[in-house]
Amino acid sequence: MVGHDETLIGAHAIAVEAEHRLIHDLPRLRSATVHTDPQAVEGFEHHAAPATHR
């Protein structure tokens, strides 16, 4: 999770660093997809639209 006020560029940098660490920590791993979620904000559901399709 990233802060709800994090910029897109900041969240991307966090995800890239997480992927980099995973690749180093797991020798057979070649790549990883890291999805950053913003911290919850009262009264706002970040995944409301996709949740209706699950």
Rounded Cα–Cα distance for residues 50 and 12 (Å): 21
Phi-psi category of 28—alpha, beta or left, where left has phi over 0 and alpha has psi -120 to 50?
Answer: alpha
* pLDDT, tens only, 16-38: 999 999 999 999 999 999 999 88
Full domain range(s) for residue 6: 1-36
* pTM of the predicted model as reported, rounded to 2 decimal places: 0.76
Average pLDDT, the chain: 89
pLDDT of residue 31: 96
- Asked whether residue 3 is assigned to any structural domain, the reply reads yes
**What is the domain count for the chain?**
1
Looking at the domain assignment, is residue 4 inside a domain? yes
Q: What is the mean pLDDT of residues 5-22?
A: 96
Instruction: State percent of the chain over pLDDT 70.
Output: 96
What mean pLDDT comes out for the span 2-13?
Answer: 93
